[in-house]
Amino acid sequence: MYRAVALYCLSHNVRIVPDNPILEAALDQMRIEFRLNEETGRRDMYLDGENVEHEIRTLRVSEVVSEIAAISSIRRKLVAMQRAMGAHGGVVMDGRDIGTVVFPNADLKIFLTASMDVRVMRRMSELTRKGKPATEEAVRENIVHRDHIDSTRDDSPLRKASDAFEIDTTHHSIDSQVAIVVAMAQRLIQQPETQS
């Protein structure tokens, strides 16, 4: 969702600074939603009615998304939208503040980590698959920059929730990661409720 706002700003030449009245007005007008992609079975990001799933994953958007996420007015609006999406449960969300701010009482919280080299390799692979290749140096610099901004911002910094399960995915494939998380969710679902 923060990537969608970043894309909007880049596409409309909106300055990414706090207290920008143009950005504030744009926040009230832009429509951000997820819609089911019948071909993939996944939900894609739509911005003002247009599928922007590929555009929000570009390095150009990655370079500014943390600046977007550091603006409190944007965070307030998007957190409210995220909470509305998950108000009735039954959702899986990922993000850098989902377990600490958006849903601090979530039933299951997972904090994924991986070595920097693996994160760079995975990001480069993703960009290449989408026809947006980038250099290893540019990708590494972007990840380090985003991590620094997100973990040091005043509003909702990136951190592991105290009750989150940490999984180092360095040596796990996507299928392996999914299997681990699904097993954790199934154990949670199958646990008998404690009697008071």
Per-residue pLDDT of the chain (196 residues; tens, 9 = 90+): 999 999 999 999 999 999 899 998 999 899 999 998 898 888 899 999 999 999 999 999 999 999 999 999 999 999 999 999 988 888 899 999 999 999 999 999 999 999 999 999 999 999 998 888 889 999 999 999 999 999 999 999 999 999 999 999 999 999 999 999 999 999 998 986 654 4
| Cβ partners under 8 Å of residue 182, min gap 6 | none
Nearest to 84 by CA among 69, 70, 103: 103
| Cβ partners under 8 Å of residue 70, min gap 6 | 149, 150, 153, 154, 155
C-beta separation of 72 from 2 below 8 A: no
Query: What pTM does this model have?
Result: 0.81
Q: What is the pLDDT of residue 191?
A: 81
Q: What is the pLDDT of residue 193?
A: 61
C-beta separation of 11 from 4 below 8 A: no
Residue type for position 178: V
The residues that bridge with 166 in the sheet, in sequence order, are 111
Residue type for position 94: D
Q: What is the pLDDT of residue 90?
A: 83
Q: How far apart (Å, rounded) are the C-alpha atoms in residues 174 and 192?
A: 30
C-beta separation of 161 from 109 below 8 A: yes
- Separation in Å, CA 56 to CA 9, 51, 61, 63, 191: 12, 10, 6, 11, 38
